[in-house]
Amino acid sequence: MKASEVKVDLDELKKFKNQNARERLEFIDFWVNYIKTHSDREWSEQQNVLIDSQVT
């Protein structure tokens, strides 16, 4: 498919963006619950996988 043939439905993309934002907020709640129910060392090991992949 050529770039010129791609159809873009902006309304649909806005819905996806909105849905993604909601899912990200839901993940915050899930993650906070994880922190509250696990030891600092457990949750920080998980967190460090993300951080240390970007900061060496």
Partner 1 sequence: MEYNKEKREIKLDKVLSNLDKFVLDFVRILKEHINYVIVSGYVSILLGRSRSTEDIDLLIPTIKKEEFEKIWKKIHENGFECMNTSNHVEAFEMLKEHAIRFFKKGIPTPNIEYKTIKTDLDKYSYENRIKVILNNKELFISPIELQIAYKLFLASDKIDEELQPDKDIEDARHLYKMFKEKINKEEFLIFINKLNVKKRLILLE
- Rule CB under 8 A: choose which of 3, 8, 10, 28 binds partner 1: 28
Distance CA 10, CA 44 (A): 39
Q: How many residues bind partner 1 (CB under 8 A)?
A: 29
User: Counting contacts by CB under 8 A, is residue 18 touching partner 1?
Assistant: yes
Distance CA 28, CA 2 (A): 39
Burial of 35 (0-12, 13-18, 19+ CB in 10 A): middle
Q: Specify the residue, 7 or 51, whose C-beta has the smaller distance to partner 1.
A: 51
Both tokens of 20, joined, read 């993604």
Q: Which residues bind partner 1 (CB under 8 A)?
A: 14, 17-18, 20-22, 24-25, 28-29, 31-32, 35-36, 39-41, 43-48, 50-52, 54-56
